[in-house]
C-alpha cells in the first residue's frame, strides 16, 4: 500500500524553521506516496502564509497530495473576506476542491471540509456530507484501506477536548462505519493519539479508528507534546486486515524527527461490494 504521511496544523506564520527542515528531511528518507494535510495550514489565512505552506509542500517527495482547510484557514479579522470569500486564500494555493479524494488500488482517502465561516473554531459535518462520504465509501474495493479526513476530532481522550469535537459526529460515524470506513483522521487540538471508536460509539457494528495528529511544525505546541506527524502503511486486503501507524516527534536537540511509537491497528473485515445491502 502507498505510505501515507499525515501532516496537520502546521500553522504557517508560526512555523519553527528547524522543524520544517527536519520534516522535509524525514519525508525524503521515508518517501511517502501520499501526503495528507488535515487543516490549519496557516495561522491567519494570509496570502504569504499560504504561499509559505505551498512552497513547503512542493519540497516533499510525495507524488500525491490531499489538502483540506481548517478553521485557521478562513480569515478571522478580515470580516468581508470571511463572509464573501472565505476560501480565497486556500483556493489560490491549493485549488478550489475543498473535499478532494485520493483513489488507488489499495487506498481510498476522502477529504471532508468541516469548517464553517459562521463558526469561530468549531467543526461541523452536514447530513449531505455524511451521505456523500458514505456513498463514496460503498464504492471502495475490498483491497482498499478506507480513510476519511476531517479537521476537528470525532472522539476525545481529554475531558477538555470534548468541546472541540466535530458537530454532526453522532450521525457521521455510524454511517461511515456501516459504509466501510477504517480510519477517521483529524487534527485541530495538537494532541496525537489513536483510539478505537467503539470506545466512544459502542453501537458500531465494525471497528473504526480515529487517528489524531499533533502540530507538525508550529511553535504552538500543546504543553510538553512536541511537533509530530503520522505515517500509515499496510494492506487492506486479506482475512486479517491491519495497518501500521507510526508517530514521529521532532527532537529539537537533535534537529530531526525521531520515531515515538509504532502500533498495528486491527481492521474489520472488508465487505465485498457485491454482497453489501444498504
Can you give the pTM of this predicted structure? 0.94
From the centroid of its chain, how far is CA 30? 19
276/268 Cα distance (integer angstroms): 15
264/233 Cα distance (integer angstroms): 10
The DSSP code for 270 is: P
* Grid cell for residue 22: 527536519
CATH no. of 4-271:
3.60.21.10
What residues pair up with 108 in beta bridges, in sequence order?
103, 146
With 0-12 CB in 10 A as exposed, 13-18 as middle and 19+ as buried, what is 131? middle
* Grid cell for residue 276: 453489501
What residues pair up with 73 in beta bridges, in sequence order?
none
What ranges do the domains of the chain cover?
A: 4-271
Per-residue pLDDT of the chain (278 residues; tens, 9 = 90+): 789 999 999 999 999 999 999 999 999 999 999 999 999 999 999 999 999 999 999 999 988 999 999 999 998 877 776 788 899 999 999 999 999 999 999 999 999 999 998 887 899 999 999 999 999 999 999 999 999 999 999 999 999 999 999 999 999 999 999 999 999 999 999 999 999 999 999 999 899 999 999 999 999 999 999 999 999 997 544 556 899 999 999 999 999 999 999 999 999 987 644 333 33
* Grid cell for residue 216: 507538525
Q: What is the CA radius of gyration of the chain?
A: 18
Amino acid at each position: 500500500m502507498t505510505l501515507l504521511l499525515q501532516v496537520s496544523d502546521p500553522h504557517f506564520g508560526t512555523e519553527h524553521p528547524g522543524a520544517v527542515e527536519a520534516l522535509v528531511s524525514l519525508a525524503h528518507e521515508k518517501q511517502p506516496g501520499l501526503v495528507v494535510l488535515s487543516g490549519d495550514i496557516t495561522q491567519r489565512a494570509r496570502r504569504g502564509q499560504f504561499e509559505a505552506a505551498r512552497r513547503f509542500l512542493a519540497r516533499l517527495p510525495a507524488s500525491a497530495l490531499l489538502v483540506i482547510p481548517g478553521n485557521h484557514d478562513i480569515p478571522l479579522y478580515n470580516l468581508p473576506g470571511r463572509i464573501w470569500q472565505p476560501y480565497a486564500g486556500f483556493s489560490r494555493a491549493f485549488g478550489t476542491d475543498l473535499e478532494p479524494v485520493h483513489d488507488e488500488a489499495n487506498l481510498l482517502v476522502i477529504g471532508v471540509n468541516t469548517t464553517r465561516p459562521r463558526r469561530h473554531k468549531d467543526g461541523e459535518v452536514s447530513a449531505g456530507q455524511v451521505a456523500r462520504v458514505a456513498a463514496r465509501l460503498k464504492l471502495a474495493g475490498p483491497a482498499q484501506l478506507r480513510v476519511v479526513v476531517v479537521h476537528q476530532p470525532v472522539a476525545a481522550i481529554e475531558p477538555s477536548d470534548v468541546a472541540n469535537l466535530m458537530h454532526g459526529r453522532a450521525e457521521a460515524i455510524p454511517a461511515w462505519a456501516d459504509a466501510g470506513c477504517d480510519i477517521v483522521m483529524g487534527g485541530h487540538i495538537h494532541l496525537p493519539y489513536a483510539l478505537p471508536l467503539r470506545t466512544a460509539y459502542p453501537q458500531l457494528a465494525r471497528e473504526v479508528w480515529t487517528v489524531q495528529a499533533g502540530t507538525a511544525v508550529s511553535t504552538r505546541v500543546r504543553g510538553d507534546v512536541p511537533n509530530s506527524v503520522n505515517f500509515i502503511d499496510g494492506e487492506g486486503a486479506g482475512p486479517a486486515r491491519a495497518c501500521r501507524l507510526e508517530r514521529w516527534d521532532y527532537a529539537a536537540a537533535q534537529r530531526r524527527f525521531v520515531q515515538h511509537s509504532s502500533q498495528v491497528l486491527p481492521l474489520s473485515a472488508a465487505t465485498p461490494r457485491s454482497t453489501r445491502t444498504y
